[in-house]
Amino acid sequence: MASNACRSRPRIGITTYLEPAAWGIWQREAALLPRAYLDGVVAAGGVPLLLPPVGTDPSVLDVLDGLIVSGGCDVDPASYDATPHPETVDTRPGRDEHERVLIQAALDRDLPLLAICRGLQMLNVTLGGTLHQHLPDVVAHEAHRPEAAVFGTTEVKVEPDTLTAGILGEQTEVRCYHHQAIDVLAPSLTPTARAGDGTVEAAEAPDHSFVVGVQSHPEENLDDLRLFAALIAAARSRS
């Protein structure tokens, strides 16, 4: 039986990838997630639980205190009735549907939700928004994804008197790696942070107790646990 101390730590579900992987002598498809997400949840006081994109059942959220929708591959343009851009690659419609179901179920339950990078994009698409499929076409630079597998840094300005500002302040620097971003914002979301080039860097759902999406990767800077800590605090309050 789990100890009382363990049970008092909020249980945070995190969506994962299905990817070819190698370990030992094996090369097989596996459910994967960068460890940094797990470390962020644990360091902030939560217990991470992995949610693979198979056997999707929204009732799994009944045993969770919060949800993180993680980053990853491009969102399938079919999710928002768009024609694929030549730079839109490696889409995973099955994962899109898995996360769409979990996002909607989390919103229906008012479960605390932190959406990270692709997660923010999926939150927006789930609620009726659209995406820029290749951001350099819009902002005329590559700073949001400077090189393959190299995170950039972006200065963002946060709207005052928002949940996001209460967590991050009105200006902050974030780690980023993306070439897609919000285009048309879903009607039920409010933009709460932008980069200097106008890219939406954060959004929240004001009709819910804690729904925050960021275009950045907070798990890549675990010296700054503010977003993870805010999610854990909301999850603890709810539980």
Residue 36 lies in a domain: no
Can you tell me the distance from the alpha carbon of 129 to that of 58, in angstroms, rounded to the nearest whole number? Answer: 22
Q: What is the CATH number of the domain that holds 106?
A: 3.40.50.880
In this prediction, residue 5 carries a pLDDT of: 46
Band (152; pLDDT cuts 50, 70, 90): very high
Residue in the block written with tokens 């205190």: 65
Residue 4 lies in a domain: no
Can you tell me the distance from the alpha carbon of 239 to that of 237, in angstroms, rounded to the nearest whole number? Answer: 6
Q: Average pLDDT of 128-147? A: 98
Band (7; pLDDT cuts 50, 70, 90): low
217 counts as catalytic: yes
In the predicted model, is pLDDT for residue 174 greater than 90?
Answer: yes
The residues, any chain, with a CB within 8 Å of residue 231's CB and separated by 6 or more, are: 12, 44, 46, 66, 68, 112, 114, 210, 212
Residue 7 lies in a domain: no
In the predicted model, is pLDDT for residue 2 greater than 70?
Answer: no
Instruction: Say how many C-beta atoms besides its own lie within 10 A of residue 59's C-beta.
Output: 7
Band (3; pLDDT cuts 50, 70, 90): very low
63-119 residue pLDDT tens: 999 999 999 999 999 999 999 999 999 999 999 999 999 999 999 999 999 999 999
Residue 184 lies in a domain: yes
Q: In this structure, what token pair is assigned to residue 192?
A: 């709460």
Select which of 98, 144, 179, 217 is catalytic: 217
| Range(s) of the domain holding residue 104 | 69-81+90-239
Residue 42 lies in a domain: no
In this prediction, residue 238 carries a pLDDT of: 87
Residue 38 lies in a domain: no
The pTM of the full predicted model, rounded to 2 decimals, is: 0.96
Average pLDDT over the chain reads 96
Residue 41 lies in a domain: no
Residue 19 lies in a domain: no
In this prediction, residue 4 carries a pLDDT of: 46
Select which of 99, 201, 204, 219 is catalytic: 219
144 counts as catalytic: no
Q: How far apart are the first and last CA of the chain?
A: 19
24-54 residue pLDDT tens: 999 999 999 999 999 999 999 999 999 999 9
How many separate domains does the chain show? Answer: 1
185-213 residue pLDDT tens: 999 999 999 999 999 999 999 999 999 99
In this prediction, residue 8 carries a pLDDT of: 85
Select which of 98, 117, 144, 179 is catalytic: 117
**Structure letter (DSSP) for residue 61:** G
